[in-house]
């Protein structure tokens, strides 16, 4: 078995390998197109800046005439007015079925956290095992030294004679 210090260094490196990407993911979770408010989207459509929009559930993704992309949240009641406005301004409209991969997205979102919890559980079990082994060694040493103490210099044993 490896010494405790070596194992702790290995677990520290493993923790860094897991934690650094997780922190990076949390700090910058999405690098897709910018999300714009619904009111800005309506202004852009009125100014003929929008070339096409695809609506999937309450998410509207689209392209600007300049080539840029955007994402906007559009509540279901407001979708009909957005579609009417898009048609008036000759922008293409596409409705897509709701995404069936929501469960997989949820699993993918929680996967880094589950990996961290698993790594910590593995790390703590190793530390627990190492501490238990060291405690057993210490108990063994105490048992070996116990007779030497009573014979060598335990004053309470000598005074009772």
| 27-39 pLDDT, tens digit each | 666 667 888 999 9
Alpha helical stretches, state H, 51-101: 76-88
Question: Do 92 and 130 meet the contact criterion of CB atoms below 8 Å apart?
Answer: no
Residue 150 has pLDDT above 80, yes or no: no
What is the pLDDT confidence band of residue 1, given thresholds at 50, 70 and 90? Answer: very low
Hunting for tokens 């279901």 — which residue is that? 76
67-126 per-position pLDDT tens digit: 899 999 988 888 888 899 999 998 999 988 766 666 777 777 778 877 877 877 777 777
Model pTM score: 0.46
Count other C-beta atoms under 10 Å from residue 116's C-beta. 14
pLDDT in the model for residue 43: 94
Question: Do 109 and 30 meet the contact criterion of CB atoms below 8 Å apart?
Answer: no
Question: Do 65 and 49 meet the contact criterion of CB atoms below 8 Å apart?
Answer: yes
150 or 68: which leads in pLDDT: 68
Residue 23 has pLDDT above 90, yes or no: no
Query: What are phi and psi for residue 118, nearest 5 degrees?
Result: -65, -45
Question: Do 112 and 22 meet the contact criterion of CB atoms below 8 Å apart?
Answer: yes
Instruction: Assign 43 to helix, strand or coil.
Output: helix
**Considering the chain, what is the average pLDDT of its residues?**
78
């Amino acid at each position: 078995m490896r010494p405790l210090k070596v194992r702790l260094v290995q677990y520290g490196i493993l923790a860094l390998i897991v934690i650094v990407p997780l922190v990076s993911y949390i700090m910058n979770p999405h690098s897709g197109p910018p999300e714009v408010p619904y009111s800005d989207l309506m202004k852009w459509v009125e100014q003929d800046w929008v070339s096409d929009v695809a609506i999937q559930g309450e998410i509207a993704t689209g392209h600007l005439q300049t080539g840029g992309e955007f994402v906007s949240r559009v509540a279901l009641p407001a979708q009909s007015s957005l579609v009417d406005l898009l048609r008036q301004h000759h922008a293409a409209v596409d409705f897509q079925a709701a995404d069936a991969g929501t469960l997989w997205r949820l699993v993918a979102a929680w996967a880094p956290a589950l990996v961290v919890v698993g790594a910590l559980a593995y790390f703590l079990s190793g530390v627990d095992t190492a501490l238990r082994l060291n405690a057993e060694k210490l108990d063994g040493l105490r048992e070996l030294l116990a007779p030497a103490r009573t014979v060598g210099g335990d004053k309470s044993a000598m005074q009772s004679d």
